[in-house]
A and B are shown apart, each in its own frame.
Chain A
Amino acid sequence: MHPTSGTIGPLPVVLVFWILTLGAVALFARSAWRLVRLLRAGVAEPRFDRPLDRLGAVVVHVLGHGRLLTQPYSGLLHLFIFWGFLILTIGTIEHFGHGLFPGFTLPLLHRWPPYRFSQDLFNVLVLIAVGMAIYQRTVTRPARLTLNADGFVILGLIAALMITNLVASGARIAAQPEPGDAALPISSALAALFAGLPLAAQEALYRVAWWSHVLIVLGFLVYIPHSKHLHIITAAPNVYFRSLEPKGQLRPIDIEKALENDLPVGVSKIEQLSWKDLLDLYSCTECGRCQAECPASLSGKELSPKFLILDLKDHLLRDEAARLLGAPRGDTDGSPAPPRRMVGDVIHDQVLWDCVTCRACMDACPVFIEHVPKIVDMRRHLVMEASRIPLEFQKLFDNVEASGNPWRFPRAARADWAQGLGIPTLAERPDAEYLFWVGCAGAYDERNVKVSVALARLLQRAGVSFAILGTEESCTGDPVRRVGNEYLFQLQAQQNVETLTRYGVKKIVTACPHCFNTLGTEYRAFGGHFTVLHHTQLLEQLIAAGRLRPQERLAETLTYHDPCYLGRYHGLYDAPRRVLQAIPGVALTEMERHRERGFCCGAGGGHAFCEERTGRRINHLRVEQALAVRPQRVATACPYCLMMFEDATRAKDVYETLPVADIAELLDRATRPAAEASPHTDGARS
């Protein structure tokens, strides 16, 4: 009994099988080669360093499903299917070997009971997983999944593969038992079912099931490159080639070189993305985890990180493939439709402006797709090449350029907040250990000046030697960079690095996570190498060293809001919480979205300086999330989060009942000398 014995008309069946197999492999190879050639149309990007780190992530996140398992139900079902594919592929090799070379069996493995058992076991586990997946797609229906035929076609094919495999195996045992079949309990059970059939029927069943199985495998092979299941091939390389750069560092552009050589300074065409960006597009599985975490999507904006990637993929494969591969366009009616512009038609301008650069999408993506850098690259095109810029962002640029801060307060007033507080400038005290980088919000915004004052008092109380730059400080350029004005950012960066270097600054402390990121991470590319601490880090150290002793009780339930540029960008989740817990009486309660899953306040990516006109306001959503855990106060550690929260508590009429404070204000209150303890010196509202 052999599945490819006999003839069909004049042709030996084995020859037919050879033709089918080679044909499917050829079709697959042709599609795959086309995808590789398209990938090579992207610009170069070095992603070949640190192979061990890269392999490590493949082990954790591909083999181990690290990120997928953060959602246990779909993570587990995918784990079954993934490992099922790996294990069952060995069986598939044996099937094809058997069919192509009659008499072939896998050496060593074929009769090894654990191997045979694994085939039976995973057939069943995958079937269970397919059932779970169908249940998820039809009953629980999470919003992140788009209901489409592709998903069901694939699930159906996978189920058919498992069933045909089991039936073939069962029929074979019924017709022709072998020693060692005891290692196939499921197949043996099926064999018992088929035992009553005549031998010819058992053999026919075997042949039908075997052929169905291999034909589905071949069909799968042809179908994969054209479906979202391309990720089966691209996901592992995409995880391997993921970015190992510091998270908060956007790609710098050599502007002078770009202009001299007439190179783009932003991305407006698909081939201006890097090959890794294009690999990202191939790797998207449409799981929608990005969208389920995206504050823009969740507040009803046009941006969905999932559709951003899918629209780009579609644009690459449908609109641009012919051009990139050098073939003439297929239009025969003589009037080719104008090509769709990538930025504007495929990806609407508003989609790009909707992003708050919070990075939630990137941290949720199981295959490490990088959404935010693509968005900023396309914003760079809108700002520096196309000049299609929302008015509020133009104003932001003009303000930063004219006054070194986003609101156009006079440069001369930058140190007014520090008057009478005994805070020296670096010019007055060049040997200070720390530079206290105040930031625009800390220097000018009435609410955040209170935070600056509280932090300065804490540093004085702990005996830290520090000074400020005073009027020589200027916006780090973070908001303009993230909006896409790389040119203005670089002007600010060069000027600030020059000032900091002139004073020989080594250590910086700041209360602003955006300044913290820019000074510590992004200025390196501009020759600025400083040790930069966020104030929560320094305060934690000062408490641990006993230089700050929180004594005054704050008997309150607090919830802490993770600023994106502190948490997701720098992994600083514990320092702020430890500072809060050092205050006697404080009870911490966590919002549903916290730490790695923290939810942006709505201010990132330049959004502190523009209105939200579509859907709901992100800061309102966040305040509702806070209210849901009934805290007595919200603590945060970012000036923009503070502003966004207070705007939202005012709008929602809970300003009086849900006070919001920076951690420095709470610690200042808790460490003040007993004599000072009166409401008038209380930085935070009580």
Chain B
Amino acid sequence: MDIVVCIKQVPDPEIPPSQFKVDEAAKRVVPPPGVQPVISTFDLHAIEAALQLKERHGGKITVLSLGPASVRDALKRAIAMGCDAAVQLDDPAFEGGDSFATAVALAAAIRKLGAFDLVLTGRQASDWDSGQVPSALAELLGIPGAVPVQKIELRDGTLYVERVTEDGYQPIEMPLPAVLGISNEINQPRYPTLKGIMAAGKAQIPVWSAADLGLTPDQVGERGRRVILTRLYVPVRESRCEFIEAETPQEAGEKLALRLREARLI
């Protein structure tokens, strides 16, 4: 089973909120100084899902990422975890793209890689949380897709997946090839072994430009955008703390329940 995993490198989501800054005028996120970017969390789960499928069914895993030179660290981490090959998509023309423009470039790269059985991505990236890329990829590649996925099984050549819903899951059977947006419920990403880290250090990672993918500058990046960003700002969160006074824990529980009901929260 040959799998392509698309990953995104994002600013470290673990940094304290006080370190997160945006340039409202330029409508851009200001990267926090001295903080290394990381692989988006859901994408780590997608890599792990691919590795587990490979362990069960064999095949090859290729990782794709669109971004500047720093994404090579993300791709190396994926190889360290056990992926077989990686390709970086980098071109000035890719800059300023939205989810759709990114999906156009990724879809072209997936086609260029050749035959595949599955494309995995994270359900959404932990920076913008748009969750558009997996569905756009399915559309552009003309194959079925499902997001967010918490379970993947191969049953007699058919794909069985479970889609996370608000109150449970939806079982789906679908043909291969397909695109799946992976959710965190599915697994626990592994830590790279030492052999993996060393293999990643030696890995050759080719860089493909828009021209390599047969794309024109108006299809990708800023010019390929379909979403218009009108304003970028850090919302001010207000919180109010209310103490429930009571003599006993039981009484406190009752009062708390009543108060929550009043606020129509339960």
Residues in chain A within 8 A of chain B (CB atoms) = 255, 259, 265, 383-387, 389, 391, 394, 397-399, 402-403, 408-412, 471, 487
Contact = CB atoms under 8 A, between A and B. Distances in A.
Contacts of A391: 188
Interface string B172-203: 00000000000000001011111101100000
Nearest to A407: B14
B194 A384 contact: yes
A410 B195 contact: no
Contact of A394 (B19, B35, B191): B191
B34 to A, nearest CB: 4
B222 interface: no
B14 A265 contact: no
Contacts, number: 46
Contacts of B34: 410-412, 471
Given A391-B188, A409-B16, A410-B19, A385 B193 contact: yes
Contact of A410 (B16, B38, B188): B16
Nearest to A411: B34
B32 A387 contact: no
A255 B194 CA distance: 9
Contacts of A389: 191
9 contacts: A265-B194, A384-B194, A387-B190, A387-B192, A389-B191, A403-B35, A408-B14, A410-B19, A471-B34
A394 B191 CA distance: 6
A384 B195 CA distance: 8
Where chain A touches its partner, the secondary structure class is: helix
Contacts of A409: 16
A262 to B, nearest CB: 9
Contacts of A412: 33-34
A546 to B, nearest CB: 43
Contact of A408 (B15, B192, B195): B15
Given A387-B193, A410-B34, A412-B33, A259 B188 contact: no
Contacts of A385: 193-195
B12 interface: yes
Given A410-B32, A410-B34, A411-B34, A402 B191 contact: no
Contacts of A399: 14
A410 B14 CA distance: 10
A281 B188 CA distance: 36
B170 interface: no
A487 B38 contact: no
A653 B58 CA distance: 56
A412 B35 CA distance: 8
B36 interface: yes
Contacts of A387: 190-193
A386 B193 CA distance: 7
Contacts of B193: 384-387
A394 B194 CA distance: 14
A21 B194 CA distance: 55
A174 to B, nearest CB: 75
A410 B35 CA distance: 7
